[in-house]
Amino acid sequence: MAEISFSNLSKNYGSIEVLRNINLYIKDGEFIVLVGPSGCGKSTLLRLIAGLETITGGEISIGSQIVNDLEPRDRDLSMIFQSYALYPHMDVARNMGFSLEIRKENKDKRQSLVAKAAKTLGLEDYLDRLPKALSGGQRQRVAMGRAIVRKPRAFLFDEPLSNLDAALRIGMRFEIAKLHQKLGATMIYVTHDQVEAMTLADRIVVMNAGEIEQVGTPIDLYEQPQTLFVAKFIGSPSMNIVPASQSDDGIELPGGKTVKPGGWSKNLNPVQLGFRPEHLSLVEIGKADCTGKAIVTEHLGSDTFVYVDVKGWDPVIVRQRGNSNIQSGTELGISFDTSRLYMFAKDGKTIRGTDT
Amino acid sequence: MEGQTIKSANNTVLGRNSPRLSPHRKTSMFSAKMRSVFEPWLYLSPAIILLVLVMFLPLVIGFTYSFQHYSLFRPNDITWAGFANFEQLWSDWKFWKALKNTVWWTFGSVSIQFILGLGLALLLNRTFPARRLIQALVFLPWAVPTFLSGLTWAWLFNPVIGPLPKILYAVGLTDSAYESILADPAIAMWGPITANVWFGIPFFAITLLAALQSIPKDLYEAAAMDGASAWQGFTKITLPFLAPMIAITVMLRTIWIANFPDFIYTMTKGGPANSTEIVATYIFTTAFRRLDFGYASAVAMVLLLLLLAYAFILLNMRRIQAKG
Ligand SMILES: Nc1ncnc2c1ncn2[C@@H]1O[C@H](COP(=O)(O)OP(=O)(O)OP(=O)(O)O)[C@@H](O)[C@H]1O
Ligand SMILES: [Mg+2]
């Protein structure tokens, strides 16, 4: 169990700067999820913590110890790889007990620890199989088992569920959440999956092009994105972003009406306006803020996403509860929840209204 | 082993061909059946004939020679000898000495070649500048004809003009800068072994390097996270992965080297006082110097049997190990 912190961390490969200016403090026992577009440096950051890559600037400390030059084996962390990286020539039991074998624990202790982990993960029946005789989900659990047989200072996960099918993913997500509750260990988790990030994280770290864009609880990021990038990245389907032109009494909408986002004042000069699909409602044309034609509707059962073509904007997505029956081509009226409108400045920062 | 290859090859051909033969079944079940039996053999016949000509025939001829008094000094007196050649061999001290030398020569060469070859493969498996060029250069000894290398090494060991005796003296391994290593029965074998090691390292390096490169890198990372040191990574991941390749290359090299007289013949001719005579050179001199083909064939048969036994034991060990 340990806290982990980075100060001014950076990483270059030759002249390529992959990470820069990373500052973060992770509390003991916290579940941190790293998200960001492909290539933004999530895996690299994880590997720096693990010690599998050497850092080129700044400091990493685990507990109160600076670990910049510590070998991976001396950092006492567990990592779960996307590829699982199971040892193909060892059976499941030996795979799981490998770290104990390395530490020269005696056989009885090894067996009992492996059995305990196997029980937690439902692997008791597979202990003497080789990894090649396991399904993807079972392999994933062996990889988890290998990590939990000992009590490392922290767990690192690099997209551990991305090779599983949807149903297994949900199951394993639940297992990981339970595991975190049970062990109370610090966990750092990389994922591309919005739902994993939102459900598992105590705090989410959004990364972009080698830098930390914003850190916060899932709800923070959802409700108060500090930048356009975070606003677009968090939430699924993502926030609608449209160009904003300002007039004296608010932001002009196609069709001539204006809206005043919460905290509006004249000198904010937003260039873009953002609103989430779930904060739009479909209303009668006469009461609408603006209108458009339905292009496509996607039915998920619980929700319906309606793509609306509003003149001058990219298609706007509206989320409807339940199963609403809208024919494409129908003229629809859209109404905004003005307290849930986001304004973005030219530099991509969110503009805070005067009274929010 | 040859018979086995032919048989298994035959099976696959049969299996693949039978569905195609079905149209014939209507006309005559019998001839279709005959065809399905003989057709594959027909296709294989060029290969079989070639194998028989180049492999079996010489083997059979050698086998029959070993039961004859067959000396080119007495070409008119070639008679069946029964086991006379083998009885002679049993009491031939030169043969026993050659056998002992063969063991020394073979295991000395193979073990040093293997260890240095593995070391080289591990070095070449890292990234460093000009890696490709150096990898290519390492394999150069294979490109040199063995007789040329043998003569070069003999020259390098030459006590008057060769540099090696002086170097060995300088590092304190010998007592004189003019030590004639190849002429000293106690240590002469090290001459050809040295040449053979130089010649054989690339083989191990190239095959083991290929095997090393097929080991997924993330296994080492996983092992490092599990707390393994570099040495533990080597023993618990690298070696198990290399084991099949090690078994097969060591076996092949052992057989080749036991049969490989070139360096000994060019460097010491089996001397001094038979101290470097191995079975392969003994066969060679018996057959082509003393022109006694019958006796040479008997020795060759014994060597063949010993090597077959060795291969058999090694393959079985490997099979048991793979199972357990
Ligand atoms: N060995 C390397 N040499 C040079 N550049 C590298 C190296 N490894 C990674 N990079 C670069 O570093 C950047 C970050 O890579 P990283 O693997 O951390 O991305 P990621 O955020 O994990 O992406 P993904 O979500 O696709 O896994 C990428 O642009 C990649 O090209
Ligand atoms: Mg990655």
CATH number at residue B164: 1.10.3720.10
pLDDT confidence of residue B294: 83
pLDDT confidence of residue A78: 93
Q: Residue with the nearest Cα to atom 6 of ligand 1?
A: A13
Ligand 1 site: residues with CB under 6 angstroms?
A: A 13, 16, 18, 36, 38-44
Rounded to whole angstroms, the Cα distance separating A247 from A109 reads 73
Give domain status of residue B125, yes or no: yes
Q: Is the pLDDT of residue B14 over 70?
A: no
Which among B221, B223, B240 has the least Cβ separation from residue A89? B240
Q: Give the SS3 label for residue B130.
A: coil
Question: B221 and A72: CB-CB below 8 Å?
Answer: yes
Question: B237 and A87: CB-CB below 8 Å?
Answer: yes
Average pLDDT over residues A39-59: 93
Look at chain B and report how many structural domains it folds into: 1
Give domain status of residue B232, yes or no: yes
The minimum CA-CA distance between A205 and chain B, rounded to whole Å, is 24
Entry pTM:
0.79
Question: B219 and A87: CB-CB below 8 Å?
Answer: yes
Q: Is the pLDDT of residue A23 over 70?
A: yes
Q: Which of A105-109, A262-266, B28-32, B53-57 has the lowest mean pLDDT?
A: B28-32
Give domain status of residue B28, yes or no: no
Ligand nearest to the CA of A157: 2
Ligand nearest to the CA of A192: 1
Q: Find the A39 Cα to ligand 2 centroid distance in Å.
A: 7
Q: Is the pLDDT of residue B16 over 90?
A: no
Which among B219, B227, B240 has the least Cβ separation from residue A73? B227
In order of A125, A155, A268, B18, the CA distances from A70 in angstroms are 38, 17, 49, 65
By C-alpha distance, the chain B residue nearest A52 is: B221
Torsion of CA B59, B61, B67, B71, to 10 degrees: -120
Give A85's contacts in chain B (Cβ within 8 Å): 216, 218-219, 221-222
Q: Find the A54 Cα to ligand 2 centroid distance in Å.
A: 17
Average pLDDT over residues A320-343: 90
Torsion of CA A292, A294, A299, A303, to 10 degrees: 10
Which of B9-18, B27-36, B63-72 has the largest mean confidence? B63-72
Instruction: Give me chain A's average pLDDT, please.
Output: 91
Q: Is the pLDDT of residue B305 over 60?
A: yes
Q: Is the pLDDT of residue A200 over 70?
A: yes
Domain span at B211? 85-323
In tens, the pLDDT along B120-157 reads 999 888 888 888 888 888 888 888 888 899 999 989 98
Question: A83 and B225: CB-CB below 8 Å?
Answer: no
In tens, the pLDDT along A130-149 reads 999 998 889 989 999 999 89
Q: Residue with the nearest Cα to atom 17 of ligand 1?
A: A43
pLDDT confidence of residue A226: 94
Give domain status of residue B26, yes or no: no
Q: Give the SS3 label for residue A263.
A: coil
Average pLDDT over residues A143-158: 92
Average pLDDT over residues A300-317: 92
pLDDT confidence of residue B4: 43
Residues 6+ apart with CB under 8 A from A232: A238, A239, A241, A274
The minimum CA-CA distance between A102 and chain B, rounded to whole Å, is 6
Q: Is the pLDDT of residue B246 over 80?
A: yes
Helices B293-323/B57-65 angle, 10° precision: 120
Rounded to whole angstroms, the Cα distance separating A353 from A340 reads 11
Closest listed residue to residue A285, CA positions, set A251, A333, A350: A333
Q: Is residue A219 within a helix (H) or strand (E), and if so which, with residue range?
A: helix A218-223
Give domain status of residue B76, yes or no: no
Give domain status of residue B68, yes or no: no
Give domain status of residue B70, yes or no: no
Average pLDDT over residues B247-256: 89
Give domain status of residue B139, yes or no: yes
Q: Is the CB of residue A54 less than 8 Å away from at least one CB of chain B?
A: no
Closest listed residue to residue A216, CA positions, set A198, A229, A228, A232: A198
Q: Is the pLDDT of residue A93 over 90?
A: yes
Report residue B324's pLDDT band, with 50, 70 and 90 as the boundaries.
Answer: low
Instruction: Give me chain B's average pLDDT, please.
Output: 83
Q: Is the pLDDT of residue B7 over 60?
A: no
Q: Is the pLDDT of residue B2 over 70?
A: no
CB pairs under 8 A between A and B: 54
Q: Is the pLDDT of residue B201 over 50?
A: yes
Give B216's contacts in chain A (Cβ within 8 Å): 83, 85
Cβ contact A177:A144 at 8 Å:
no
| Ligand 2 (single-atom ion) residues, CB below 5 Å | A 43
